[in-house]
Structure 1
Amino acid sequence: MQKVTKEWLQSIEALRDVPQDQLQWWIDNSRHYELEEGDLLLKQGTPTTGTHVIITGRIQLYIAQKAGIQYLSLLGSGDVSGYLPFSRAIVNILDGRALENTQLMTFPVERMNDLIHTQFELTQALVHIMSTRVRDSTILQQQNEKMMALGKLSAGLAHELNNPAAAIVRGSASLSKHLKLKSAKFKEISTMRMSEQTIEQVNAKMLEVLAREQKQVFTMMQRADLESDFMDCLDSHGVANSQEISESFVEYGFTCDDMEELSAIIPVQYLSPVLNWISDSLVIERMVRDIQDASQRIEKLVGAIKNFTHMDRGRHKEYADIHSGIQNTLTMLAYKLNKGNVELLEDYDTSLPRIKVFVGEMNQVWTNIIDNALDAMEFNKRGRLEIKTKRDGNFIEVTISDDGHGIPEELKSRIFEPFFTTREIGKGTGLGLDVVSRITRQHGGSLQVDSVPGRTAFVLCFPIND
């Protein structure tokens, strides 16, 4: 094994200014040993054994999950890990495995009080290492949580975007086909000889039907019956393409009574070409409307994505409507709401003022809580999600509740701990609620949870005046 000296320890940047006598004390009171390739230094859930200094070799830190292994960071020569002064981590939250033969120096956790009370500069240096590790871990945690949030939403967004995009492709192809057929029918219409009065009467009747606001919604069976009756009416007047015409006319609210009025206005020899021309116009109008609706749906989704991820914005607080972030999150999770057969109940106080927040971070809060609620209701194959906002003095209060299985009493005190999760292995990292708690505190707010079987409510309060 390589001999560990105080000079070698001072080559580590964080330990450079520690007096040599303290470093020698650290060396003399530590355990020096080697791990072979594949040996575990850290095992998730086991007690911490001490402060580890990597002399030679490499240690891979990771979290083992059902869905696979999530690699976090790699420790090499000169890195310090494990338990550090004043740390509250008495249990390993990660796994650490040697990638090759690795030499270590481990200062036992049982001697930490001696170090703190007798080796001031060494303690100070190790605390600085801990603060740096916490900062780096927080940044990594934030990045991982954002990536997880995007991963949760990506499948649903692909589905939500695919439907309107496919509708646009189908609609544009059909529209092109109908426009090509339109020219042949225009020739037939242009040779007609109808009086100006007749044309005005037909036009007035069309506008009257299309202007009807109350169009009844029919079941498939009711619609089929109406179309069949309308076909009989058209056939009795010798109108060609009666099936196609009946489909478009019934959709726009035409009845057999309307048909009889038109047949009384239009000369018999022109009835079939006129109705076919009108039907084609209605079909084209419907296609344009469908394409417009699909385009607006895509525009809404893209807008929600942009607002949700907070693109093109700086890293600073700004005044925002709390409801906008919630609505964007619900839009992003719409696929999961529909898939889970979840009833959404919204009770918003729209008079609430805007509050100064980090908008991107707040969207993480809504995503994590709502996504957890949807997961909690999965076992019922249905559920009810309630979101309520109101003013409570100088605070805005947001309550998000679900009728899922609830949180066991013995676990309530642990749900905000990093890496703690009640989900199945592979379905979560346990970072979500820790992120929610951290962001809420960052905004000067408070968070509490009330849970019994059949109802879990997260209550968040944010100050109105930053």
Structure 2
Amino acid sequence: MNLLETLHQFPALANVPDEQLQWVIDRAEEVSYPEETVFYKPNEPVEYLMLLLEGRIRIDGGGANDEILTYDPYSVLGVLPFSRMKTIPNRLVSTTPTRLLRLHRDKLHDLIHNCYELTEALVHQMTTRVRDYTKLTQQTDKMASLGRLSAGLAHELNNPVAAVVRSVDTLKSHLRATPEAFKTVMSLQLTASQVDSVTEVFFKKVDNQLLPDTKRLTLLERTSLEDDVTDWLDDHGLDDSTDLAGPLVEFGFTVDDLDWILEKIGDGNLVGVANWLVNNLVIEKLVSDIGEASRRIATLTGSIKNYTHMDRGGGKENVLLAEGIRSTLTLLDHKIKSKHIDLKLTIPDNLPVVCGWPGELNQVWTNLIDNAIDALPDGGKLEIVSELDKRSANEGLEFVLTKVIDNGAGIPEDIRDKIFEPFFTTKEIGKGTGLGLDIVQGIIKHHNGSVKVESKPGHTEFSVCLPV
């Protein structure tokens, strides 16, 4: 197959007249590269339009074996007519022995004037490449966000899941001792009135424990109360008084409560009643722990559902910004706690809804909040504020303004204009893609909004303005 026939095998060039392809052949050069040859290093000038005749080329990312994209035979790459490409941020490597036909960018001006159909085909190739690149960068950022969130989510889920497993195992062992305790209870000589008195004080203590305004004992208060209850149990001849005192104090029993129970049931029934009380208090505590851990798991899975919007369509819809921001904070809670960050969230209940794509907006909050957390020192402050933009309201328009503010070191003035550029990052290798803020800017523009940054040492503020 001669070179002209080979060029007709390119899908992008299939309908280009022969004389225009021959024009390229006459002015281009054919080059070959052995396997695993790096023929473009990161940020080197791109000087050629390249037509891949044979072999395979890959674009590498920052890490080892980090393949971003591959080009198969009959692919078009490099600089194109009207393209603003000057450099590429990644390596180009020949995966197999490779043969290219390349045309220097100095010839593109003449190509545009002499080869209309070819120019049209290459411009169409450029728009396709831009569209594919946008999808790729968004997907890369989504995967990076997913990695960060999944690590935090795994940590957050580990605690309640471990609590459930631990409580279930303890409950299972505890219930094995119930038949023996049941024998003791059955041997008691209690009247119906005495039984009612015991069950009344039991459920009163359990119900009080569930009230949100119940005062929690300090460690010193708890220790002192446990000592008093232990002494009382010892004085009344109960074995294992230390084991019994803990659950009783946990549910707020005092020496006065025990005196009242003793008065109601008498000395002869005290051992059996005390053991029954403690046995059921332990079961109640274990069930309560399982319930609390399960609710935490439900909250986390609910946040994931809200964050991903897995049960909704992919079109525009009315978005409650507070819902997305809170879901994002739940999923980043592990990072916030690990750095002991003081978080302040101010979102009014009457904030107007925004019409947009909730999944995209959640990417915005993830990137901005995650960047702020990374910028903060241990014990730093993070503030998120959403409000109706008063300036726009005065002009008869409605915008919601959301600010993500941190008191980190700030963004140096010499790089402030670069932070929204793709692949620009100040993070260490492997810790940042340099795509986050570029994606944020693209999503905000997609919503006809704006994003701005103001920064000085001790105060960095990203402002996102979205139309209602």
TM-score, length basis structure 2: 0.92
Q: Which residue of 2 aligns with 1:134?
A: 130
Q: Which residue of 2 aligns with 1:335?
A: 334
Local SS of the residue matching 1:225: helix
CA displacement 1:183-235 (0-9 Å, x = unmatched)? 22222222222334434444444455445455433343442332122201211
Answer with 397-406 or 175-184: which moved more. 175-184
CA contact (8 A) 2:348 2:386 kept: yes
1:117, CA displacement in angstroms? 3.7
Q: What is the distance in 2 between the residues matched to 1:12 and 1:439? A: 34
Q: What is the distance in 2 between the residues matched to 1:88 and 1:407? A: 28
**Which of 66, 77, 80 is residue 73 of structure 2 equivalent to?**
77
Q: CA RMSD in A?
A: 2.0
Count of equivalent residues: 458
Answer with 232-241 or 341-350: which moved more. 232-241
Q: Which residue of 1 aligns with 2:465?
A: 461
- Is 2:244 aligned against 1:245? yes
Q: Which residue identity is paired with 2:267?
A: V
Equivalent positions of 1:314-393 (< 5 A) are 314-377=313-376, 380-392=377-389, 393=393
CA displacement 1:64-88 (0-9 Å, x = unmatched)? 33xx332022223211111112222
- Is 2:432 aligned against 1:428? yes
Q: Which residue of 2 aligns with 1:29?
A: 27
For structure 1, list consecutive stretches of 5 or more residues without a partner in the other structure. Answer: none
CA displacement 1:12-44 (0-9 Å, x = unmatched)? 121222233332222222232222223222211
- Is 2:408 aligned against 1:404? yes
Q: Percent identity?
A: 41
Equivalent positions of 1:138-287 (< 5 A) are 138-212=134-208, 213=211, 214-287=213-286
Local SS of the residue matching 2:420: coil
Local SS of the residue matching 2:86: coil
Q: Which residue identity is paired with 2:70?
A: L
1:107, CA displacement in angstroms? 1.6
Q: Which residue identity is paired with 1:27?
A: I
Q: Summarize the Cα distance change of 1:207–1:11 in structure 2 as closer, same or farther, 3 Å threshold.
A: closer
Local SS of the residue matching 1:64: coil
1:3, CA displacement in angstroms? 5.6
Q: Which residue of 1 aligns with 2:11?
A: 13
CA displacement 1:290-334 (0-9 Å, x = unmatched)? 111111111111111122122133221112211111111111111
CA contact (8 A) 2:6 2:53 kept: no
Local SS of the residue matching 2:172: helix
Q: What is the distance in 2 between the residues matched to 1:201 and 1:38? A: 84
CA displacement 1:92-143 (0-9 Å, x = unmatched)? 1221111233221222223333333443322211111111111222222222
CA displacement 1:222-277 (0-9 Å, x = unmatched)? 42332122201211122232112210111111222222232233201111211111
CA contact (8 A) 1:241 1:276 kept: no
CA contact (8 A) 2:401 2:465 kept: yes
CA contact (8 A) 1:403 1:455 kept: yes
CA displacement 1:143-195 (0-9 Å, x = unmatched)? 22222211112222112112111111111122222223222222222222233
CA contact (8 A) 2:341 2:382 kept: yes
Local SS of the residue matching 2:431: coil
CA contact (8 A) 1:248 1:282 kept: yes
Q: What is the distance in 2 between the residues matched to 1:234 and 1:462? A: 66
Q: Which residue of 2 aligns with 1:64?
A: 62
For structure 2, list consecutive stretches of 5 or more residues without a partner in the other structure. Answer: none
CA contact (8 A) 2:188 2:272 kept: no
1:390, CA displacement in angstroms? 0.4
Q: Which residue identity is paired with 1:189?
A: V
Local SS of the residue matching 2:336: helix
CA contact (8 A) 1:215 1:253 kept: no
Q: Which residue identity is paired with 1:366?
A: W
Answer with 197-206 or 295-304: which moved more. 197-206
Q: Which residue of 2 aligns with 1:305?
A: 304
Q: Which residue identity is paired with 1:47?
A: P
1:463, CA displacement in angstroms? 1.0
